[in-house]
Structure 1
Amino acid sequence: MKHKKRNRQKARLPTAPIQPSGTVITRQIINTGYSEHGASYTKGSLAGWRPIRSSPQSDIDVNLSTLRARSADLVMSAPVASSAINTSRTNVIGAGLQLSPKPKYKLLGMTAAEAEEWAKAVKEEFELWATSKFCDALRKNNWYDMQDIAYICYMIDGDSFAVFKYRPPVPGMPYSLRIQLIEASRVCNPNVQSVFDAISPYDMTVRNLDNGNRIINGVEVDDDGAVVAYWVCNRYPYDPTNMSTLSQWQRVEAFGPLTGQPNILQICHDERPEQYRGVPYLAPVLEVIKQVGRYTDAELTAAIIKSFFSLFFKEQFVSNGQFPLQPVFGQHERIILDPNAFELGPATLNVLPPGYDVTSVDAQRSLSTFEPFTRELIKQVGATLEQPYEVLMKAFNSSYSASRAALLQAWAAFKTRRVWFSRDFCQPCYEIWLAESVAIGRIKAPGFFTDPLKRKAWSNAEWYGPVMGVLDPVKDAEGAALRVLYGFSTREKEAAEMTGTSWNENVERLAIEQQTMKSLEIPIVTTTVSKTTQAIPEEGGNQKQ
């Protein structure tokens, strides 16, 4: 029995509509999602916008020479750029971050009192080293001043470096540890330097012929991409005062092979994976700040010219070479006629040669739009740099609440950078110093070199710096008192952050002062009364009346 052959229909898209006549309408494929929005190449506003996202080396390292030079130039010439760097430095570092040793006494089998006494001894010993210029390999600055220098270089160049060196102790300085600060431009690929132009992409990565490691812009990494060494040049890439010195590179291992401790520190904050060099703080706003500076210079020049009162005299005949109106001026004020010399200035009189005339130019120039326009641009700069306009320009003209909100916004960024800097510079320096101090017997720390966990417990510390600007000292002090009262903070932390002093030293000094006042029969005021403190309960549970 023969089966009838079935007619198979051609497959069609289920979404394709069919007309009554049976004709299938073919639809054009339509892009979805971002294809018609942020990723569109057909919209007129986006058709010419075709950026390329590449590796950190292509996007950052190749352009670092230009970014550093422009960043440094703006800091030296543009008030807005200088304010951004100095404001960050003042609030993050101030006069230097202060050490507060915090050994984990429970892990170390100590009591709180014993840990406190140990911390006092360590702090005094650390001050011996940190406050001396002998801690600097160049003997120029103490350790707190070096914080300032390292931070500014990190902000301007994107990163800065500190090398640990050891030199024989000198009278008054029992420690051998020395620190040498190095600017970012000196850490570069061996035998590859760039002065005015960006480094060629072909020169960005070279090979260490001894071990086959890659060297990326002065940072040597192994096959896993881990940093193993830094290459430091003995001179700056461009230094007209030192052109006779032959460039040589020194390979500095990142970590000691025996101790595992760092030999060199890179003060930097990475923004992308596999990023080995930092980006200058001002990089995102270089163009805007430069344009604001040009606009300001143009308006300033126009205002100066507008304030001048200059006259031009035209001769109809050849004179005897004497300036007209000679009797009007004193002998020392008269000038000899020079037809080739003209000057603009306050109350300047100029003589034109015969046949020349001057057409006046309207010097009237309205500055009504200058201030609001530049203010809006600087607001954008401040938002990018996490420094509100009020903080960046030191213009607290708004209400107390608005000014405090601006300070709080800026302070959040300042505290974050303080944590970064203390992790990259302060804490490693302290740990290296503490290791030497324990090794030479000036500090006792059992188990420091035998147990890594105990070493970490002995090395634990906190770092304090300047406090946020205070608009109302009374409210700030009351807030500190409440934080201590309810256990949100400690007296030591509040003293360090509010005044940069030690609470222990403060109370000891206060005891001496009170004893002196008692001996002289001077009344001692022990309490202050305010709307807030009236409601604070005393230790016994009774409220102040």
Structure 2
Amino acid sequence: MSNKKDRRRAAAPQAKGYSEAGASLTRRALKGFVPDSGAPNEDINRNNATLRQRARMLYMAAPVATAAINTNRTKVIGTGLTLKASVDREVLGISPEAAKKWQHAAEMEFRLWAGKKQNCDALGLNNFESLQQLALKSWLLSGDVFALVKRYPATPLNPYTLRLHIVEADRACTPSEYGGGVTIGGFVEGKIPEGKPGAGHKVYDGVEVDSNGRVVAYHISNTYPHEITSEPQKWQRVEAYGAKTGLPNILHIMDSERPDQYRGVPYLAQVIEPLLQLRRYTESELMAALVQSFFTAWIETETDPSDTPFNEVGAGDIAGVPTEVNADGGPMANNISDDDNEYEMGPGTVTHLAPGEKVNFGNPNIPTAGFETFVKTLCKLVGAALELPYDVLIKEFNSSYSASRGALLEAWEAFKMRRKWFVDDFCQPVYEMFLAEAVALGRINAPGFFTDPLVREAWCGARWIGPVQGSLDPKKEAEAALMLIDNAIKTHEQVSREMSGGDWEENVEQLQRENELLTQAGGNKVTVVSASPKEGDGDED
């Protein structure tokens, strides 16, 4: 008997680990849940054309989607990320004074190029700060964005040839002559035939990679996939980096979520469906409320339906003559008709209906009582997916101070992360290309820049200052910052950068000059007061 039980136990399948949990194929809730995920090219690139179109449509038509994109634009970039040169003095072996002087000169040269739209934009439409805003918004809407590096002749007012041309994601696509998979957006993947530059390389949605999977070039179309134009579609192959200089010929701004991923996913991709349903629900409630605003009444009558039960209501004036006049010949105040077959409404009006007639008024229960609760719940779910707490997404800070501050802090972590990605993909490479040209032209002196990569990296050091975190109670937060400084948890420089985006050393120098002027004028000097001065300590630092 025991042998029979043992054989039966051995013959029965044994469920182990996740096969009885999330990987179960027998549980009723999971039977129909059998996804078939493939390579990033299959899961992402072949669907990206549809995702981009839907994300852009929601941005244009769904307020919550618009708020999500614009909030990121405002918090990550704001009016623009400002260059703050920061060279490594130890590697370069220069004094603090020399470093400060060089940094100021580099910032002024960069401002000369970046401050005017005709100096930095290949199209002459935006200065560098506006190009940042455009690139970030396009990145979020389309999943990625490109910046072509072009060279224009120098002018008397602009000695630099560097120009940037922002290219939308749709124009980076696989040339049709390379074959491969086809989707709504065009040819997604293909292989470069013999006799062409890069022969044998694969092209994934416009991104050319070699046998090692390394990106070597991009293929940019002269037209958009759905553009109505008589111009024939052509592609330009742009090598990722210059063979002689090593500088990028094109910048690709994207956020990778999977290995071997060559194209980005729109920021709204995971919430397209809930945003669309929320838009539909909101529109239906809005229309229902609009219909309810029309005061409608029905007259129920037992008269012969073939007869006209009453005349047109509110016929108004005929040929400029009021239908009724008062004793002085002027129009009656309410112009109420005394026709038995005409029904009119007016202040303090009493109307007698004919026998068998009664009035029924439309009174739909619109809008739905749970509308606000449902919308808030959905916005919280959408905000969680987009790393935007509900308070920040909807701009509604009705909670307590602690809750509102917590929401701001949580959102700020995501903003800082995206700013770092954007700086690494766009701002810093642009500055390094600019600096290389400035040094080559002799406008900036940087010994060893073209001979030693380590020295070059030291000269290229920079910080990019953008919008600072919002403050709900500036007094409390300032006192907390001073306490952190007093206990050496943070430095003056860190606090100045985080709270105002400024430079502490520049602030000290400026305060020194201001105090000298105030002393000359007989005014009071500006002092720095500690958050919690100890007994015997002075208030002035």
Work out which of the residue numbers 225, 232, 239 in structure 2 matches 1:253: 239
Instruction: From 86, 90, 93, give the equivalent of 2:77.
Output: 93
CA distance in 2, matches of 1:454, 1:485: 36
1:392 paired to 2:375: no
Conserved 8 A contact 2:171-2:225: yes
Deviation at 1:361, TM superposition (A): 5.8
Structure 1 residue 328 displacement after superposition: 8.3
Partner SS, residue 262 of structure 1:
coil
In 2: Cα distance, 1:330 partner to 1:316 partner = 32
Q: Distance in 2 between matches of 1:158 and 1:119?
A: 35
Bigger drift between 142-151 and 480-489 goes to 480-489
Q: CA 1:92 to 1:26, structure 2 compared with 1: closer, same or farther past 3 Å?
A: same
Over 3 Å counting, the alpha-carbon distance change for 1:181 and 1:313 in structure 2 is same
**1:176 pairs with 155, 161, 165, which one?**
161
CA separation in 2, counterparts of 1:55 and 1:359? 64
**Contact preservation (8 Å) 1:465, 1:496:** no
Question: Alpha carbons of 1:23 and 1:140: their partners in 2 closer, same or farther (altered >3 Å)?
Answer: closer
C-alpha distance in structure 2 between counterparts of 1:295 and 1:446, whole Å: 64
Query: Structure 1: 5+ residue runs without aligned partners?
Result: 1-16, 335-357
CA distance in structure 2 between the partners assigned to 1:270 and 1:329 by the alignment: 72
Match of 2:254 among 261, 268, 271: 268
TM-score (norm 2): 0.84
1:72-87 matches, within 5 Å, as 72-87=56-71
2:208 is the counterpart of 1:220: yes
Q: In structure 2, what is the Cα distance between the partners aligned to 1:329 and 1:117?
A: 85
Following the alignment from structure 2 to structure 1, what is the Cα–Cα distance between the partners of residues 501 and 480?
17
Moved more, 484-493 or 401-410: 484-493
1:39 and 2:23 aligned: yes
- Counterpart-to-counterpart distance in 1, 2:83 and 2:267: 26
The question of 1:280 aligning with 2:266 is answered: yes
SS in 1 for 2:28: coil
* Alpha-carbon spacing, 1:252–1:498, altered in 2? closer, same or farther (3 Å): same
Greater shift in the superposed pair: 367-376 or 144-153: 367-376
Partners of 1:366 and 1:332 in 2: how far apart?
Answer: 43
State the SS of the aligned residue for 2:176: coil
**Cα offsets for 1:79-133 (capped at 9, x unmatched):** 1111111111111111111111111111111122321221122112111111111
Distance 1:129 1:393 in 2: 38
Query: What amino acid maps onto 1:534 in structure 2?
Result: P
Structure 2: distance between partners of 1:483 and 1:71: 43
- Matched residue of 1:435: which SS? helix
Take 2:412 and 2:321, find their aligned partners in 1: how far apart are those partners? 59
Aligned to 1:344: none
Distance in structure 1 (CA, Å) of the matches to 2:306 and 2:243: 90
SS at match of 1:275: coil
Contact 2:288 / 2:366 at 8 angstroms: preserved in 1?
yes
Q: Within 5 Å, which residues of 2 pair with 1:311-460?
A: 311=297, 316=305, 323-326=312-315, 362-365=363-366, 367-460=368-461
State the match for 1:146 in structure 2: 131
Instruction: Please state if 1:160 is matched with 2:145.
Output: yes
CA contact 1:438–1:445 (8 Å) conserved in 2: yes
Written as runs of structure 1 = structure 2, the 5 A alignment for 1:512-531 is 512-528=513-529
In structure 2, relative to structure 1, the CA distance for the partners of 1:253 and 1:504 (3 Å cut) is same
2:219 to 231, 249, 261: 231
Question: 204-213 or 275-284: which moved more?
Answer: 204-213
- 317-326 or 489-498, larger mean C-alpha shift: 317-326
| Cα 1:131–1:37 shift into 2, 3 Å | same
Shift of 1:170: 1.5
Residue 523 of structure 1 aligns to a residue in which SS? Answer: coil
Letter in 2 for 1:221: V
How far apart are the structure 1 equivalents of 2:318 and 2:298?
A: 16
Contact 1:466 1:498 in 2 (8 A): no
Q: Return the alpha-carbon distance in structure 1 between the equivalents of residues 461 and 35 of structure 2.
A: 46
Find the aligned partners of 2:102 and 2:485 in 1 and give their Cα distance.
Answer: 24
Task: After TM superposition, give the deviation of residue 505 of structure 1 in Å.
Answer: 4.7
Greater mean deviation of Cα atoms: 360-369 or 229-238:
360-369
In the alignment, what sits opposite 1:6?
A: none
Q: Which amino acid aligns with 2:93?
A: G
| Structure 2 CA distance for aligned equivalents of residues 299 and 290 of structure 1 | 14
Residues 1:298 and 1:500: Cα distance change in structure 2 (over 3 Å)? same
Deviation at 1:526, TM superposition (A): 2.4
Aligned-pair CA distance for 1:174: 1.3
The residue type equivalent to 2:220 in the other structure is: V
Does residue 135 of the first structure (1) align with residue 120 of the second (2)?
A: yes
What is the rounded CA distance, in whole Å, between the counterparts of 2:322 and 2:455 in structure 1? Answer: 82
Distance 1:381 1:490, change over 3 A: same
Q: 395-404 or 325-334, which moves further after superposition?
A: 325-334
| Alignment partner, residue 336 of structure 2 | none
Matched to 2:250, the amino acid is I
The answer as to whether partners of 2:297 and 2:361 remain within 8 angstroms in 1 is no
Question: Structure 1 322/306 Cα, relative in aligned 2: closer, same or farther at 3 Å?
Answer: closer
SS in 2 for 1:168: coil
Rounded Cα–Cα distance in structure 2 between residues aligned with 1:303 and 1:368: 12
Give the letter aligned to residue 370 of structure 1.
F
Q: What is the CA distance between 1:317 and its match in structure 2?
A: 5.2
Q: Could you tell me how far 1:533 is from its partner in structure 2?
A: 3.9
CA RMSD of aligned residues (A): 3.1
Query: What's the CA shift for 1:59?
Result: 0.4
Q: Distance in 2 between matches of 1:183 and 1:442?
A: 33
Does the 8 Å CA contact 2:185/2:225 hold for their aligned counterparts?
no
Distance 1:249-1:25 versus aligned 2 partners, 3 A rule: closer
Shift of 1:77: 0.8
Distance 1:231 1:515, change over 3 A: same
Note if contact 1:91-1:414 (Cα within 8 Å) is conserved in structure 2. yes
Distance 1:238 1:487, change over 3 A: farther
SS at match of 2:220: strand
Return the alpha-carbon distance in structure 2 between the equivalents of residues 44 and 330 of structure 1. Answer: 76
Q: Which letter maps to 1:323?
A: E
In structure 2, how many angstroms separate the alpha carbons of the residues matched to 1:494 and 1:417?
A: 21
Which residue of 1 is the match for residue 95 of structure 2?
Answer: 111
- Matched residues in 1 for 2:527 and 2:539: separation? 13
Q: CA deviation at 1:306?
A: 1.5
Q: For residues 111 and 54 of structure 1, what CA distance do their matches in structure 2 show? A: 56
**Which residue number corresponds to residue 335 of structure 2?**
none
Question: In 2 relative to 1, CA 322–246 (structure 1 residues): closer, same or farther, beyond 3 Å?
Answer: farther
CA deviation after TM superposition for structure 1 residue 376, in Å: 1.2
1:241-283 Cα offsets, whole Å, 9 max, x none, are: xx11111111110001012111100000111111000000010
Aligned equivalent of 2:333: none
Separation in 2, partners of 1:25, 1:329: 103
The secondary structure found in structure 2 opposite 1:411 is: helix
Do the aligned residues in 2 keep the contact of 1:64 with 1:198 (CA within 8 Å)? Answer: no
Where 2:211 maps in the other structure, the secondary structure is coil
Shift, 1:365, TM fit:
2.8
Q: Percent identity between the aligned chains?
A: 44
1:26 corresponding residue in structure 2: 8
TM-score by length of 1: 0.84
Q: Secondary structure at the match of 1:420?
A: helix
- Going from structure 1 to structure 2, the CA distance change for 1:142 and 1:494 (only over 3 Å counts) comes to farther
